[in-house]
């Protein structure tokens, strides 16, 4: 999810969402990934952001909300578990893909080994004619 998507989801201004995310990141609660589409926020960061936003809307100052967040929460366990399961599935997919690619490489290496070497290049026609005359002269000298 992007910052803009997060702001829309919680119906807050973009600048506020960006400021809160930066605050949470600077205090070590979340990590924001940068991609070609801008800042990317994962599900865990969204849940932490939601919890932080509820504390702020309840009337806590930003600093107090950060302190309460640090005291009582490491995030919903199910969000963390779901995130880990997704990561494990992705790792398994990548391992399968890696094995398939390794098999393909081995197959092509075996094919390359089977191929005959290229024949040596032919001599140029002048060299062939010269060699023919040389052989002819040598055969006449020996006769």
- How high is the mean pLDDT of the chain? 86
pLDDT digits (tens, 9 = 90+) for 31-53: 888 888 788 888 888 888 998 99
Closest CA to 75 of 88, 84, 86: 84
Q: How many helices (H) and strands (E) does the chain have?
A: 6, 2
Tokens representing residue 7 in the block:
């702001």
> Model-level pTM?
0.50
């Amino acid at each position: 999810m992007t910052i803009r998507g997060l702001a829309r989801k919680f119906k807050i201004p973009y600048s506020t969402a960006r400021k809160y995310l930066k605050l949470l990141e600077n205090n070590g609660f979340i990590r924001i990934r940068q991609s070609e589409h801008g800042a990317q926020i994962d599900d865990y960061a969204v849940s932490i952001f939601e919890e932080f936003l509820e504390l702020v809307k309840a009337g806590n100052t930003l600093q107090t909300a950060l302190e309460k967040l640090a005291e009582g929460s490491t995030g919903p366990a199910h969000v963390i578990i779901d995130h880990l399961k997704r990561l494990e599935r992705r790792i398994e997919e990548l391992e399968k893909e890696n094995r398939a690619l390794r098999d393909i490489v081995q197959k092509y290496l075996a094919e390359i080994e089977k191929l005959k070497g290229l024949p040596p290049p032919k001599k140029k026609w002048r060299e062939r004619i010269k060699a023919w005359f040389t052989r002819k002269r040598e055969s006449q000298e020996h006769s």
